């Protein structure tokens, strides 16, 4: 096995027992990026020199016994997350020249303990998309079949982990952007409860849904990264005050007696691929064998999730993206007057999908339409959230497919925004409700494409998700 194929747990053991150094491990990852990135396009920026320097520092920490769990482990970061001194474009040309002066809180926590940042991952611009084709730096290809998409919006992060270009990645999930690409690429993708991790330094998309979390090779690694990045942050007033549970302590506990719900609405959706359904059913059988009590449950407002999501998100988007105007940061186009400067900077700096969301959001928030769209969507959001509150009185976890279908062809849905919005049908409800969810690799379909199964937990109920994920995952 090559060093770049290791999990965090294995790399940590190897580093601590001096089987190899962080410099050696980092070099192997950088070589893999060099060999593969031209085909996969998972990275916009590669930090070759600084990564090797950080690895040398990490080796020093390891040899003097001052290491922490992520010391010396090469990781990558979605480009919509700020990294001090490293260009962060959000995959949009308006930030083509933007280098943040600070780290997002979660990234700062990793870098302070000697994590090695190998580069910044391609994504859909500012997180808008489900196929990574809305990047102004080209689409990301699925490492299992280069003619297929990697999923989105964190397609670069998922592809980089699945293709062993790094050991893990930090990404962002507003409505599925960690879980869906993880499922398409055969990685583990974890969206934490809203408020568990700080959003400070994440380029905001829809602030009431945005979360940041890990894409890893195993559930264990996701739990390990979460234990290092979670917690209250004075720079994000929505973070939870409570201390972070020890996610690794109970990860191996057996599952007997755990109550698992199968939400029938997810399986009645039109367009659910038969192999995805079969693979999910096999995972449900496995849970029964492991002693879980499985029962059918209902989340009656599931059918409204996509409509609610695609009203609320553009509304918040249209406000959040207002800061990108060519004045404060990024690329400024010349104009004959101020209006011209704004219009030119935004017209050339945003891809089509971002413009579409800004227009929809501005429309839905305008006087006369606000009550009909925004207020209505907020009301239905409460009903969707209430569905989850009710169901978690009866069961501990829910199991669903992560995506109704496996990775589709590059270009296949590009000109049909509505078809792409439907790709979020399984992942947006948990985001709307603010509850945590994990996509676990669950094998491959007959075409050799990975399929993920989603485990949804109650708010702040991350521990149980990790316990189940580590038993269900099928790594290949
Ligand atoms: N597909 C969703 C969207 O385009 C995912 C967004 C996200 O989670 N960042 O809005």
Ligand 1 neighbourhood includes 149 CB (under 6 angstroms)? no
Q: Which residue among 81, 92, 128, 429 is best mutated to probe the pocket of ligand 1, counting the most ligand atoms within 8 A of its Cβ?
A: 128
User: Exposure of 255 by Cβ count < 10 A (0-12 exposed, 13-18 middle, 19+ buried)?
Assistant: buried
CATH number at 147 reads 3.90.1300.10
Predicted local distance difference test score (pLDDT) of residue 269: 87
d(CA 454, CA 465): 10
Q: How many Å lie between the centroid of ligand 1 and the Cα of residue 128?
A: 5
d(CA 144, CA 141): 9
Does a structural domain hold residue 327? no
Q: What is the mean pLDDT of residues 26-54?
A: 98
Does a structural domain hold residue 23? yes
Q: How many Å lie between the centroid of ligand 1 and the Cα of residue 43?
A: 19
Predicted local distance difference test score (pLDDT) of residue 310: 97
Does a structural domain hold residue 43? yes
Does a structural domain hold residue 363? no
Q: β-pairing, 168-173 with 74-78?
A: parallel
Confidence of residue 158 (pLDDT cuts 50, 70, 90): very high
Q: What is the mean pLDDT of residues 95-118?
A: 98
Ligand 1 neighbourhood includes 130 CB (under 6 angstroms)? yes
Q: What is the mean pLDDT of residues 74-79?
A: 99
* Count of Cβ atoms closer than 10 Å to residue 231 Cβ: 19
Q: How many Å lie between the centroid of ligand 1 and the Cα of residue 90?
A: 13
Does a structural domain hold residue 268? no
- pLDDT of 270 over the 90 cut: no
Q: pLDDT tens digits for 308-341? A: 999 999 999 999 999 999 998 899 999 999 999 9
* Count of Cβ atoms closer than 10 Å to residue 202 Cβ: 27
Ligand 1 neighbourhood includes 157 CB (under 6 angstroms)? no
Active site residue 444: no
- Higher-confidence position of 343 and 269: 343
Active site residue 243: no
Q: pLDDT tens digits for 41-69? A: 999 999 999 999 999 999 999 999 999 99
Q: Which residue among 170, 189, 203, 205 is best mutated to probe the pocket of ligand 1, counting the most ligand atoms within 8 A of its Cβ?
A: 205
Q: Could you tell me if 175 and 428 are in contact, meaning their C-beta atoms sit under 8 angstroms apart?
A: yes
Number of domains in the chain: 1
Predicted local distance difference test score (pLDDT) of residue 320: 97
Q: How many Å lie between the centroid of ligand 1 and the Cα of residue 313?
A: 9
Ligand 1 neighbourhood includes 128 CB (under 6 angstroms)? yes
* 395 φψ region: left (φ > 0), alpha (ψ -120 to 50), beta (else): beta
Does a structural domain hold residue 437? no
Strand order through the sheet with 293-297: 43-46, 116-121, 74-78, 168-173, 211-216, 188-191, 437-444, 450-457, 397-401, 259-263, 293-297
- pLDDT of 289 over the 90 cut: yes
Say what percent of the chain tops pLDDT 70: 100
- Higher-confidence position of 196 and 475: 196
- pLDDT of 239 over the 80 cut: yes
Atom of ligand 1 at shortest range from CA of 173? 8
Ligand 1 neighbourhood includes 396 CB (under 6 angstroms)? no
Q: pLDDT tens digits for 163-203? A: 999 999 999 999 999 999 999 999 999 999 999 999 999 99
Q: What is the mean pLDDT of residues 267-278?
A: 94
Active-site position among 22, 153, 345, 470: 153
Active-site position among 169, 177, 198, 439: 177
Q: Which residue among 121, 129, 422, 427 is best mutated to probe the pocket of ligand 1, counting the most ligand atoms within 8 A of its Cβ?
A: 129
Confidence of residue 207 (pLDDT cuts 50, 70, 90): very high
Predicted local distance difference test score (pLDDT) of residue 236: 98
Ligand 1 neighbourhood includes 360 CB (under 6 angstroms)? no
- pLDDT of 136 over the 80 cut: yes
Confidence of residue 472 (pLDDT cuts 50, 70, 90): very high
Q: What is the mean pLDDT of residues 341-354?
A: 97
Predicted local distance difference test score (pLDDT) of residue 329: 86
Active site residue 148: no
Joined together, the tokens standing for residue 329 give 């940061």
Atom of ligand 1 at shortest range from CA of 205? 9
Q: Which of 123, 170, 173 has its CA nearest to residue 435?
A: 173
Confidence of residue 476 (pLDDT cuts 50, 70, 90): confident
Ligand 1 neighbourhood includes 127 CB (under 6 angstroms)? yes
What predicted TM-score, i.e. pTM, was given to this entire model?
0.98
d(CA 466, CA 475): 15
Domain coverage including residue 19:
3-229
Q: pLDDT tens digits for 428-446? A: 999 999 999 999 999 999 9
Ligand 1 neighbourhood includes 176 CB (under 6 angstroms)? yes
Q: Which residue among 131, 134, 153, 154 is best mutated to probe the pocket of ligand 1, counting the most ligand atoms within 8 A of its Cβ?
A: 153
Ligand 1, atom 4, residue with closest C-alpha: 129
Q: How many Å lie between the centroid of ligand 1 and the Cα of residue 180?
A: 9
Ligand 1, atom 10, residue with closest C-alpha: 128
Q: What is the mean pLDDT of residues 84-106?
A: 98
Predicted local distance difference test score (pLDDT) of residue 181: 98
Does a structural domain hold residue 12? yes
Q: Which of 96, 90, 45, 88 has its CA nearest to residue 345?
A: 96
Atom of ligand 1 at shortest range from CA of 154? 9
CA-to-CA separations, 294 to 9, 71, 181, 280, 387, in angstroms, rounded:
31, 40, 27, 13, 18
Q: What is the mean pLDDT of residues 398-414?
A: 97
Does a structural domain hold residue 45? yes
d(CA 346, CA 331): 9
Predicted local distance difference test score (pLDDT) of residue 123: 98
């Amino acid at each position: 096995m090559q060093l770049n194929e290791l999990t965090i747990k294995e790399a940590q053991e190897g580093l601590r027992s001096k089987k190899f150094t962080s410099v050696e491990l980092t070099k192997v990852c950088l070589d893999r990026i060099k060999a593969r990135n031209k085909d996969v396009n998972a990275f916009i920026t590669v930090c070759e020199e600084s990564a090797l320097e950080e690895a040398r520092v990490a080796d020093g920490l390891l040899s003097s016994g001052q290491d922490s769990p992520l010391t010396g482990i090469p990781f990558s970061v979605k480009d919509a997350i700020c990294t001090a001194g490293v260009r962060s474009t959000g995959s949009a040309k308006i930030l083509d020249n933007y280098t943040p002066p600070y780290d997002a809180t979660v990234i700062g926590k990793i870098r302070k303990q000697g994590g090695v940042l190998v580069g910044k991952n391609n994504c859909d611009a500012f997180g808008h998309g489900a196929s990574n084709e809305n990047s102004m730096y080209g689409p990301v290809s699925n490492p299992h079949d280069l003619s297929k998409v990697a999923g989105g919006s964190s397609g670069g992060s998922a592809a980089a982990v699945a293709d062993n270009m790094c050991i893990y990645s930090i990404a962002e999930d507003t409505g599925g952007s960690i879980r869906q690409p993880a499922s398409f690429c055969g990685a583990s993708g974890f969206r934490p409860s809203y408020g568990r991790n700080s959003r400070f330094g994440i380029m905001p998309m829809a602030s009431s849904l945005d979360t940041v979390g890990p894409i890893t090779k195993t559930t264990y690694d996701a739990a390990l990264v979460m234990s290092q990045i979670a917690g209250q942050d004075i720079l994000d007033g929505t973070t939870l005050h409570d201390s972070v549970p020890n996610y690794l302590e109970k990860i191996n506990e057996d599952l007997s007696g755990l109550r698992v719900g199968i939400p029938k609405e997810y399986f009645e959706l039109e367009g659910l691929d038969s192999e995805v359904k079969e693979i999910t059913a096999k995972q449900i059988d496995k849970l029964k064998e492991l002693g879980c009590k499985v029962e059918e449950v209902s989340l009656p407002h599931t059918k409204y999730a996509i409509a609610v999501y695609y009203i609320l998100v553009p509304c918040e988007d249209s406000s959040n993206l207002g800061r990108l105007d060519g004045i404060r940061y990024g690329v400024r186009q010349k104009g004959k007057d101020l209006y011209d400067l704004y219009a030119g900077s935004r017209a050339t700096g945003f891809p089509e999908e971002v413009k579409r969301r800004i227009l929809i959001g501005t429309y839905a928030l305008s006087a006369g339409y606000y009550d009909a769209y925004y207020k209505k969507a907020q009301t239905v959001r409460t009903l969707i959230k209430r569905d989850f509150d009710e169901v978690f009185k009866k069961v501990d976890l829910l199991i669903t497919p992560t995506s109704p279908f496996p990775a589709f062809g590059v270009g296949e849905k590009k000109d049909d925004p509505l078809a792409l919005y439907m790709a979020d049908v399984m992942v947006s409800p948990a985001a709307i409700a603010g509850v945590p969810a994990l996509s676990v690799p669950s094998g491959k379909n007959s075409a050799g494409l990975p399929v993920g199964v989603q485990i949804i937990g109650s708010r702040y109920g991350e521990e149980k998700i990790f316990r189940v994920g580590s038993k269900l995952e099928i790594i290949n």
